[in-house]
Structure 1
Amino acid sequence: MEAFEAKASGKRDLDAWCHVFGEGQAELSGGVVDPGVLAEQLRVEAGGRARRWLARRAGSICGVAELRTQQHDPAAGFLRLFVTPSARRRGVGSRLLARVAADAGVERIQATVLAGPPGEPFVGGWRVVLRLELHEQRLDQDTLRRCHELAMAAHPDHRLVFWQGAAPADRVAPFGRVMGHVLDAPGAELQMASRAWDTAAVRAWEAGMGGRHLLVGAVVPSPSDEVVGATVTTVASWEARVAEQHDTAVLPGHRGGGLARWMKARQTLRLHELFPRVESVTVTVNQQNAPMLAVNRAVGYRLVRERLLVETSTHRLRT
């Protein structure tokens, strides 16, 4: 067990660390992490919130860990810890976790694990903060037909607009106001920090996509240019088979009229048009977020697996 410094490591170790991390994150979230892109990000990453470790077995990296201080709670760190399948049930994960706890410098550690074995038993005794559902939308003919039908719904007082990458100058501020309402979702404050969404913040968020293609769909009331709803999808590359759905929000005064369903259906069709190689989209939703669960079902998402956001004290892990 040893600390891992990406900038000081050799290419072989960096590539191996990123490969194990990417495979573990894909198993946990259903998304795709390109090890090469991740390695490049770590090479140029500014120092700050993240610390990393690795475990070796017979000279090869078989376990990795990353701890990031939570912006909304500096006393807590968010842990991602992955062990290769061949090294599991050999104490590697437990020893790596003990090393993280000893070095952490925070009072509490949070992590996301798959419900059931092997993830849930590994964190036995940790407090369950949230129960989450991982959903997948297969872009097959049935789903596309369903989305086309929903996209044809009449909303005469609204129109849909889309953009890739950076928002047009006249959309930045209203888009930011909608993004500020992502925290309205149940349990969102336990997963992300409250933050400003002014023009500078939106531009910084766009610049932090790490090479991913950003696709945004937005609802705009006619005839104004005000954005009242938005949904965000990212695609790792033009060759990617899996896309990731991120935040979807509608301003409070515009909820309950089917705008989110309409917007997400059209976003699916737009995604398929722009990235025809994408076969599926994944998203994580809090089990308590009944409105978004209903929207997801309407546009063809299905439950793939359940995840738990768990937390424990570093003191407990050290004793």
Structure 2
Amino acid sequence: MLTIEEFEVRKAGPEDLEAWCRVFEDGHGELTGGTMGPGASAERLRAGSGDGVRRWAARKAGRICAVAGLRPQRHDPAIGFLRLSVAPQARCRGVGSALLARIAAEAGDRGTERIQAMVSAGTPGQSFVRGWRVTLRLELHEQRLDRDVLRRCHELAADPHPDYRVVSWQRAAPVEWAPSFGRVMGHVLDAPGAALQMASRAWDTAAVRAWEAEMAGRRLLVSAVVHLPSCEVVGATVATVAGAGARAADQHDTAVLPGHRTGGLARWMKARHTLRLHELFPEAGSVTVTVNRENAPMLAVNRVIGYRLVRERLLVETPSAGITIGGTGPRG
């Protein structure tokens, strides 16, 4: 018999929490190519149990076989971003559909008018959300840190840029660069489609510190281009590694201030960032990143430093009151 319940992190026992995180992380890994593992995921949930995410668990014979989380989007709290994962042994049995029906029925309780989700194109996940509107087409790229890619990055990192230097830090931005780093991060929204996925924020020093706190549970690496005449950050790129021993890293935001673009700074910075990442986390053999397929400049930069297309992903959306279920769950 299938049962579905709202899953409360603070009330969950250690075994249930790890089981929930295992199903979630397995599904997340299939979609993105990276995972932090159930132990690290459980630790992170315990630390941030008041994060505003509603969670559910589906059980068969008392065992968790499907999970979901619905997070209000910062740029529009009326949108809930859904992550739903079904364990392989429970797929194609209506479990994902039943779980989604429960979520849709309860989504409006906290003002969620629309639901967004990310699915891999051409998979059962896309069939599951048949009838949902595609808002963005994204490409998942992977950079394998093999000898050829590292050699290419060494070549690009040697390019001369006399008025600039690349610096890197882990955890907190140095005090002298935090304000200008924040200004650069504000320009992440310049990328095509970024406003559909993230909220505009002030990005003062306090916002930078809050963003760094959000990275708790992951190992953060930032590389930044400093303009020597002004001593300010004018470009930055961000990566995280899930934890010790993680085999893959996640590349996140990259931005360069408008007045410093077109001179090859992004390529130079990202090449040096790859080398620094490899130096600090040699066990991570690859890096994955998601880029809007309309962001031609960033796609070009990534190709030069060795990223290759893995799959296409779709950001889809539907009114929560009019969910259309295609029959099988995402990744199942």
Structure 1, residues 139-165: CA drift from partner, whole Å, max 9, x if none?
Answer: 000000111111111111211111111
Match of residue 246 from structure 1 = 252
How many angstroms does 1:49 deviate by?
2.2
Structure 1, residues 15-39: CA drift from partner, whole Å, max 9, x if none?
Answer: 1001100111111111112211221
What RMSD, in angstroms, separates the aligned Cα atoms of the two structures?
1.3
Matches within 5 A, 1:50-129: 50-105=53-108, 106-129=112-135
8 Å CA contact 2:121–2:313 kept in 1: the answer is: yes
Range 229-238 or range 299-308, more displaced: 229-238
* 1:281 is the counterpart of 2:287: yes
- 1:17 corresponds, among 15, 20, 39, to 20
Select the structure with the greater relative contact order (CA < 8 A; seq sep ≥ 6).
2
SS at structure 1 position matched to 2:161: coil
SS at structure 1 position matched to 2:266: helix
- 1:136 corresponds, among 138, 142, 145, to 142
Structure 1 residues 220 and 275: CA distance shift in structure 2, 3 A: same
Match of residue 226 from structure 2 = 220
Distance 2:300 2:246 in 1: 27
Match of residue 49 from structure 1 = 52
Show structure 1 runs of 5+ residues with no match: none
Distance 2:44 2:244 in 1: 19
Q: TM-score, normalised by structure 1?
A: 0.97
Q: TM-score, normalised by structure 2?
A: 0.94
Distance 2:288 2:324 in 1: 36
Give aligned-pair identity as a percent.
70
Distance 2:295 2:79 in 1: 24
How many angstroms does 1:48 deviate by?
5.1
Distance 1:44 1:53 in 2: 18
Distance 2:69 2:311 in 1: 23
Structure 2 letter corresponding to 1:194? S
Distance 1:168 1:59 in 2: 49
Match of residue 210 from structure 2 = 204
- 1:290 corresponds, among 291, 296, 302, to 296
Structure 1, residues 22-64: CA drift from partner, whole Å, max 9, x if none?
Answer: 1111111111122112212222335352101011122211100
Structure 1 residues 318 and 279: CA distance shift in structure 2, 3 A: closer
Show structure 2 runs of 5+ residues with no match: 326-332
Matches within 5 A, 1:140-289: 140-289=146-295
8 Å CA contact 1:102–1:318 kept in 2: the answer is: no
Match of residue 28 from structure 1 = 31
